Amino acid sequence: MANIGEPQRQYTVVPQQIPLPLPEEPAPAEQPAEPVPAPQEQEEEQGCPA
Amino acid sequence: MPSHGRLSPRSAEVLPGRSFGHILGWRLWRLPNGTELPDHEGRLMSIVIHQSPWLPGEPKAAPFPPDAYGSGVNCGIYAFKTILGALGYAETILTDWTVQPFVLGEVALWGAVVEHERGYRAQYAYPYSFRALIYTSDPRSRIFETVEVQRILDLYNVRGTSRPGRIYYLPSRGGYRHG
């Protein structure tokens, strides 16, 4: 496992335009894409496999 | 806005703990040969998770979203903040006799992200650029000719640089050398 040091903070990055090559449509002017659920909402629901 | 992450030019933070765009980090992929992983020949693969392919045109999703202190404490797609971080990591896993060529490049990260001192763990990722092919002194690491490697990388149609240079990791001769 890569050693990237201690965690400092967490946040959610909502892509305005997902950085994939397939969709070439322009990003919506001001509205972000479907929001990604915040990690806090999921941490008790799913664990990390060993 | 994350102070260390490179966000896209349109990025702007409008709520605490939430950013828009994507973060760019640095990471390594490996290119297995057909003998080792026939089902994944011609695909970029994760380094640590042995049979975890990165498919062209599809975001790589972590099995579980990362979090800083809870049950997802080790989960996520890993990336370093700097190219030196990624190269330093390569030194810990490459040896003179490593057979597979490694690919060094930038990766776009989004979704739930945990920022660490030297890197990130993210929920989603996709290659953003390919900067270097890392070979070792083992001639078997050149099992892919450059043209073949480029054909594979072109499948990913990345937004950034897609024509990597060559570097060699030769620990017995002092480390990295340009090809």
Give the tens place of pLDDT for each residue, B142-176.
666 677 888 889 999 998 888 898 888 877 777 88
Q: What is the 3-state secondary structure (H, E, C) of B117-178?
A: CCEEEEEEEEEEEEEEEEEECCHHHHCCCHHHHHHHHHCCCCCCCCCCEEEEEEHHHCEEEE
Q: Note whether B30 and B45 are within 8 A (CB).
A: yes
pLDDT score at A37: 45
Under DSSP, the state recorded for B50 is T
Distance between CA atoms of residues B27 and B106, nearest Å: 6
Chain A nearest-CA residue for B75: A48
Query: Would strands B23-30 and B53-54 be described as parallel, antiparallel, or unpaired?
Result: unpaired
Looking at beta carbons, which residues of chain A come within 8 Å of B72? 39, 42-43, 46-48
Chain A nearest-CA residue for B27: A2
Distance between CA atoms of residues A42 and A46, nearest Å: 6
Closest in B112, B118, B123 to A5, CB measured: B118
Q: What is the pLDDT of residues B96-132, one digit of tens each?
A: 667 777 899 999 999 999 999 999 999 999 999 999 9
Q: Note whether B64 and B92 are within 8 A (CB).
A: no
B18 touches chain A (CB under 8 A): yes
CA distance B106 to chain A (A): 12
ipTM > 0.85, yes or no: no
Chain B nearest-CA residue for A5: B117
Question: Are the beta carbons of B65 and A39 separated by less than 8 Å?
Answer: yes
pLDDT above 50 for B59: yes
In sequence order, the 6+-apart residues with CB closer than 8 A to the CB of B79 are B25, B26, B27, B86, B107, B109, B119, B120, B122, B125
Question: Are the beta carbons of A4 and B78 separated by less than 8 Å?
Answer: yes
Higher pLDDT, A18 or B22: B22
CA distance A27 to chain B (A): 10
CB atoms within 10 A of CB B154: 13
Distance between CA atoms of residues B43 and B151, nearest Å: 11
A28 touches chain B (CB under 8 A): no
Chain centre distance of CA B178: 19
Percent residues over pLDDT 70 in chain B: 79
Write the CA distances from B49 to B12, B44, B53, B54, integer angstroms.
33, 12, 9, 11
Q: Note whether B110 and B102 are within 8 A (CB).
A: no
Closest in A1, A17, A49 to B48, CB measured: A1
At CA B115, angle to CA B4 and CA B158, rounded to 5? 70
Average pLDDT over residues B19-46: 81
pLDDT score at B29: 94
**Residue B84 DSSP SS3:** helix
Question: Are the beta carbons of B123 and A36 separated by less than 8 Å?
Answer: yes
